Amino acid sequence: MIDRVNARVRQKPIFSVVLNDGNQWSVEAEWPDGTIERIDTFKAHNEAVNWLSRQSQAWLEGRTG
């Protein structure tokens, strides 16, 4: 099980910004195995896009060590 988790973490996800309930935006990561992980929620679309451009790499590095 640990080897499977480590293999997933080494792979990069596809990030996306998703509208939730018509008034909040979420950043999600879709991993190669199809798992979708909600990372954070924002009030405005541009806040979510800014998170992607400014913090997604650090988030990913924190996940992969």
DSSP string, 14-59: EEEEEEETTTEEEEEEE-TTS-EEEEEEESSHHHHHHHHHHHHHHH
Question: How many domains are contained in the chain?
Answer: 1
Domain containing 25 equals: 2-64
Q: pTM for the full model?
A: 0.78
pLDDT of residue 2: 58
Task: Please check the confidence at residue 1 and state whether its pLDDT lies above 90.
Answer: no
The per-residue pLDDT for range 10-60, each reduced to its tens digit, is 689 999 999 998 899 999 999 999 999 999 999 999 999 999 999 999 999
